[in-house]
């Protein structure tokens, strides 16, 4: 199993540009989570999906953030327009829905907005 | 609501010393699950252990051990004979059925092991 795959690993972009982060969950997992990690706020859950349906997006900071899961093997997190305060590490994780076994995390995308 | 508190922000030790990381949790669920994750300098989040609320046995895995005490709502983690490779941020997390098993993370403890 290749694990949760995120791309790109690093992204540097200019303020105002659109940024798209990508995630491929573990095959068979039906829950997918997007987290943001910063020094100030630690690990924050942004949004999660069950069976490709967004369940809770209350952690999405602003309307500039959007997430989609068009199928069971792919999800995107988009920031448009990006701002310097969006600089963070973004993690994707997947699990079996209702599983008490925790999540498997991807390697993360380090986003820098200049 | 669920809450995980890791009161220690940073711990620095010399190699071969033991280090204990504290984790205190809060939940009203009677069934719950506790986790520890490691985040080394490379940045990935690595699962270390999962413990359910009905199993209070302590666990040992090599130099790692975990002490689960429901009476004090704590799930502490000890690294014995620490090594430089243990330098990382360690996160304690909690999941409960009433919250759809979403993980609630503590703030993390940064462990630095000096040679």
Q: pLDDT per position in chain A (114 positions), as tens?
A: 679 999 999 999 999 999 999 999 999 999 999 999 998 889 999 999 999 999 999 999 889 999 999 999 999 999 999 999 999 999 999 998 766 777 899 999 999 999
**pLDDT at residue A99 in the model:** 67
B101 touches chain A (CB under 8 A): yes
Under 8 Å between Cβ of A114 and A15: yes
Hey, what are A26's tokens?
């573990």
For B55-95, how does the pLDDT look when each residue is reduced to its tens digit (9 = 90+)? 888 888 899 999 999 999 999 999 999 999 999 999 999 99
**pLDDT at residue A98 in the model:** 66
Instruction: For residue A1, count other CB atoms closer than 10 A to its CB.
Output: 7
**pLDDT at residue B97 in the model:** 87
User: Residue B101 and residue A104: Cβ atoms within 8 Å?
Assistant: no
Under 8 Å between Cβ of A42 and B3: no
**Closest chain B residue by Cα to residue A33:** B102
Hey, what are A7's tokens?
């791309």
**pLDDT at residue A101 in the model:** 75
**Cβ within 8 Å of A, B 70-99:** 91, 93, 95, 97
User: B9 or B99: whose pLDDT is higher?
Assistant: B9
Over residues B42-63, the mean pLDDT reads 89
| Rounded-to-integer distance, Cα A78 and Cα A21, Å | 6
Under 8 Å between Cβ of B87 and B40: yes
Q: What does the mean pLDDT of chain B come to? A: 94
DSSP 3-state of B86: helix
- In chain B, what are the helix, strand and coil shares in percent, each to the nearest 5? 10, 50, 40
**pLDDT at residue B99 in the model:** 86
What band does B12 get if pLDDT is binned at 50, 70 and 90? very high
**Closest chain B residue by Cα to residue A104:** B47
| Rounded-to-integer distance, Cα A4 and Cα A112, Å | 22
Over residues B92-111, the mean pLDDT reads 91
Instruction: List the alpha helices (DSSP H) in chain A.
Output: none
């Amino acid at each position: 199993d290749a694990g949760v795959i995120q791309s790109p690993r690093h992204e540097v972009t200019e303020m105002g540009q659109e940024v798209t982060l990508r995630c491929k969950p573990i095959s068979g997992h039906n829950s997918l989570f997007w987290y943001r990690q910063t020094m100030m706020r630690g690990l924050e859950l942004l949004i999660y999906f069950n069976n490709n349906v967004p369940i809770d997006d209350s952690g999405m900071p602003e309307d500039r953030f959007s997430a989609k899961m068009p199928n069971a093997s792919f999800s995107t997190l988009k920031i448009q327009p990006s701002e310097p305060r969006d600089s963070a590490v973004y993690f994707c994780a997947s699990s079996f829905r209702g599983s008490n076994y925790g999540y498997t995390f991807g390697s993360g995308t380090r986003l820098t907005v200049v | 609501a669920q809450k995980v508190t890791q009161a220690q922000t940073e711990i620095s030790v010399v190699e071969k010393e033991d280090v204990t990381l504290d984790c205190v949790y809060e939940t009203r669920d009677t069934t719950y699950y506790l986790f520890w994750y490691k985040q080394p300098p490379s940045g990935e989040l690595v699962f270390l252990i999962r413990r359910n609320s009905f199993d209070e046995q302590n666990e040992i895995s090599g130099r790692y051990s975990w002490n689960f005490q429901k009476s004090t709502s704590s799930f502490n983690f000890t690294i014995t004979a620490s090594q430089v490779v243990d330098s990382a941020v360690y996160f304690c997390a909690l999941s409960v059925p009433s919250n759809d098993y979403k993980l609630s993370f503590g703030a993390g403890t940064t462990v630095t092991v000096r040679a």
